């Protein structure tokens, strides 16, 4: 197997994992880190490939045992690299539908010709002349009818003035009525004449439009058929030796068609190649090389979980037969360490541990809200605001719906001051400042958020460096955040993205590097009590 890379460094002292890592949430194993370093060095050997990778690309490594039980690793990239899906040193695609002489490219070329024919017809001389003639008549009609309506309004004003003067004879009143009726009838007749002229002119367009509609329908049919052909022929394996096509996988998993690009990410490529060549997967990781895509937070050298929209259904099948670790995000932290910080007849505030949900969700074990309801034997307990599952710190709940609505209104109108403490990977360029970057969900990579200057919602954060400290030999900053808005993952994105602090929060598996926990803590809330008017300051120490 020419594509099986042997480790150049001595790995004999590195203990392999006992279970295959969950591809959606993991800390990269030392074997994967070593393999990733070798892949990055390998990239530098080809200037053209290195230049393309530097633009931004996801790579993956899969550590395996070959049929003889010897360790090695395979490397892959997501999508295309330097315009190709076959690059020396990397595993090939699961299904090479880009072969120039293959069915996909031939049919794709046919659809492209159809697109060109549609475009030429729509922009062609006969169609444009007929369309312009119709538009010209519409313009003339609108101008003439507008002039007639203005004349009608002027006539009405004159008639109203005559009537206001009084002493009109019956014959004079009748004449005024006839004038009004005549003008209205003339407007109707003019409208009908213009509509008839426009319809006669439009008749020249009808066959051309019918032809265009037929070509568009054919394009739609052929495109759908080509996608179905692709995903039916795109078959993947699992560790049991079973095979299934992507169309079936997505219909069974989600009841939908696969999105474009499904199966072309690094992880499916790696597993497919290992299964086909009798290798046993040991551990896998995906990492980013180069610049971050527009709006996304992808950092050079950081490891990331597999994408949800394309890879989750596929990998749920391909990993069958392997002993795979559970996703830590799907199992809650230790809620028994939760502490009550403040309580009165209206409110209760707790110090939420990292890894615990604020309110019930589809994953995550017992939430703070449920724990409070169980503990206090009341279903009228409502968590007022949210903290990410991975974030620890002050969380407030109301003991009645009335108090819940009052507190929610205070959060919505920014009458609650929130402060967070975070440990960053690095030190911001400026010790204090304000970050204003609009955010929007990254729907293909939920629950990640992205910076979106077009449709994103306003997100503003004040920050100040409290101190610097060494972490694993690297200088890191302890930073105080004050979010002025409350967007999902606001502090995490503002810390990690290039336009923000360019320093991810330590332990942030979504925007930086995974760790034992996300080092983000809601340190305090201050507000005027809705019921008593007392000024409250509720604090939880960052541990």
Q: How many CB atoms lie within 10 A of CB 319?
A: 19
In the three-class reduction of DSSP (H, G, I as helix; E, B as strand; rest coil), residue 484 is classed as: coil
Indicate if the alpha-carbon torsion angle 371, 372, 377, 383 is positive or negative: negative
Spell out the long-range contacts of 179-188 with Cβ–Cβ below 8 A and sequence spacing 24 or more: 179/155, 180/155, 180/156, 183/148, 183/151, 183/152, 183/155, 184/152, 186/148, 187/145, 187/148, 187/149, 187/152
- Report d(CA 541, CA 543) in Å as an integer: 6
* Residues near 94 by beta carbon (within 8 Å), at least 6 away in sequence: 234, 235, 236, 263, 264, 268, 269, 272
Contacts of 89 (CB under 8 A, 6+ apart): 3, 5, 42, 75
Helices (H) and strands (E) in the chain, counts: 12, 18
Active-site hit among 245, 344, 374, 388: 388
Run of H or E residues at 30: helix 30-43
Sign of dihedral through CA atoms 312, 317, 319, 322?
A: positive
Residue 2 Cα distances to 100, 122, 236, 411, 440, angstroms: 25, 52, 21, 60, 43
Q: Which residues pair with 304 in a beta bridge?
A: 286
CB 509 within 8 A of CB 409: no
> HEC string of 330-370?
HCCCCHHHCEEEEECCCEEEEEECCCCCCCCCCCCCCCHHH
Q: How deeply is 91 buried, as exposed, middle or buried, from its count of CB atoms within 10 A (0-12, 13-18, 19+)?
A: buried
Instruction: Give pairs for 127-130: CB < 8 Å, separation 24+.
Output: 127/205, 127/208, 130/201, 130/204, 130/205, 130/208
Query: Can you give the length of the chain in residues?
Result: 543
Whether 300 is catalytic is no
DSSP states of 217-266? HHHHHHHHHHHHHHHHH-EEE-TTS-EEEHHHHHHHHTSSPPPTTTT-SH
Report whether 314 contacts 87 (CB < 8 A).
no
Q: Closest Cα partner for 302 from 315, 313, 291?
A: 291
Parallel, antiparallel or unpaired: strands 347-352 and 243-245 = unpaired
Please identify every residue annotated as catalytic. Answer: 388
């Amino acid at each position: 197997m020419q594509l099986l890379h042997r480790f150049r460094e001595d790995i004999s002292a590195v203990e392999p994992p006992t279970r295959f890592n969950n591809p959606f949430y993991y800390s990269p194993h030392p074997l994967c880190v070593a393999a990733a370093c070798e892949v990055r060095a390998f990239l530098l050997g080809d200037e053209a490939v290195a230049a393309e990778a530097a633009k931004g690309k996801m790579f993956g490594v899969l550590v395996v045992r070959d049929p003889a039980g010897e360790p090695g690793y395979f490397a892959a990239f997501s999508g295309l690299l330097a315009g190709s899906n076959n690059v020396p040193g990397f595993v090939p695609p699961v299904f090479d539908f880009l072969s120039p002489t293959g069915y996909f490219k031939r049919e794709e070329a046919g659809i492209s010709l159809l697109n060109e024919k549609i475009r030429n017809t729509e922009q062609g001389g006969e169609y444009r002349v007929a369309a312009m003639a119709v538009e010209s008549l519409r313009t003339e009609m609108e101008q003439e009818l507008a002039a007639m309506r203005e004349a009608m309004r002027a006539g009405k004003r004159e008639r109203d003035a005559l009537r206001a003067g009084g002493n009109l004879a019956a014959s004079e009143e009748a004449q005024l009525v006839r004038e009004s009726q005549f003008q209205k009838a003339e407007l109707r007749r003019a409208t009908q004449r213009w509509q008839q002229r426009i319809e006669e002119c439009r008749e020249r367009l009808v066959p051309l439009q019918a032809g265009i509609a037929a070509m568009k329908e054919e394009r739609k049919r052929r495109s759908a058929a080509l996608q179905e052909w692709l995903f039916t022929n795109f078959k993947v394996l699992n560790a049991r030796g079973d095979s299934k096509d992507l169309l079936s996988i997505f219909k069974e998993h989600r009841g939908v068609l696969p999105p474009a690009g499904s199966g072309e990410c690094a992880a499916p490529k790696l597993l497919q190649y290992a299964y086909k060549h009798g290798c046993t997967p040991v551990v896998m990781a995906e990492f980013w090389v180069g610049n971050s895509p527009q709006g996304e937070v992808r950092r050079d050298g950081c490891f990331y979980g597999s994408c949800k929209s394309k890879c989750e259904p596929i990998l749920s099948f391909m990993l069958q037969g392997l002993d795979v670790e559970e996703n830590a995000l799907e199992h809650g932290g230790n809620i028994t360490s939760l502490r009550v910080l403040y309580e009165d007849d209206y409110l209760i505030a707790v110090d939420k541990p990292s890894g615990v949900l604020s309110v019930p969700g589809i994953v995550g074990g017992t939430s703070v809200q449920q724990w409070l309801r169980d503990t206090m034997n009341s279903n009228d307990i409502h968590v007022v605001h949210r903290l990410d599952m991975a974030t620890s710190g002050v969380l407030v709940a109301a003991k009645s719906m009335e108090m819940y609505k009052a507190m929610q209104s205070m959060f919505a109108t920014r009458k609650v001051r929130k402060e967070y403490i975070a440990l960053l990977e690095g030190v911001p360029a400026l010790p204090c400042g304000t970050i204003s970057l609009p955010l929007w969900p990254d729907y293909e990579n939920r629950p990640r958020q992205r910076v979106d200057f077009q449709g994103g919602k306003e997100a503003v954060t004040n920050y100040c460096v409290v101190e610097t400290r060494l972490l694993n030999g690297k200088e890191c900053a302890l930073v105080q955040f004050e979010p002025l808005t409350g967007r999902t993952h606001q502090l995490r994105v503002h810390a990690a993205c290039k336009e923000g602090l360019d320093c991810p929060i330590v332990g942030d598996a979504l925007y930086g590097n995974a760790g034992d926990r996300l080092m983000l803590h809601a340190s305090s809330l201050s507000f005027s009590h809705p019921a008593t008017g007392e000024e409250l300051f509720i604090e939880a120490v960052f541990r």
